Structure 1
């Protein structure tokens, strides 16, 4: 399943910061950011991840994050 999130991540530097946490806390999940999109999309491909986990990770780093329907 692919979860899509709208974020406030704006730069590659911020992606690296958040990515370090995503890689540690979600080691088996594939993820990527689309900073070209106006919603600065984060896509996470997973089997059983709860979207709230991703939202909590980004929020704890000071970024906004909401799952898109």
Structure 2
């Protein structure tokens, strides 16, 4: 039996608002094999980006989003 790999959930505040914004960051995110799932809640005031990933840091995610020209900051655990 294969071992289960647990994905970490990372949550960020962004300035992603429109479909074109999501399409633009999608190119960067899809190149990162450690990211398994991602979603942006554009209806939330913080435009929350939630990422499920394995063995990746919040800093790595922030760099990916900022490389696409957007703001990104990790939200603290509540």
Same fold by TM (over 0.5)? Answer: yes
TM-score (norm 2): 0.80
* Unmatched runs of 5 consecutive residues or more in structure 1: none
Q: 1:61 to 1:44 in 2, by over 3 A?
A: same
Give the count of matched residue pairs.
69
Q: Tell me, what secondary structure is at the counterpart of 2:31?
A: helix
Q: Which has the higher contact order (CA 8 A, sep 6+)?
A: 1
* Unmatched runs of 5 consecutive residues or more in structure 2: 1-7
Over the aligned positions, Cα root-mean-square deviation in angstroms equals 1.3
Which structure: greater helix fraction? Answer: 1
| Runs of 4+ residues over 3 Å off in structure 1 | none
- Select the structure of larger CA radius of gyration: 2
Alignment of 1:25-64 (within 5 A): 25-26=32-33, 28-64=35-71
TM-score (norm 1): 0.90
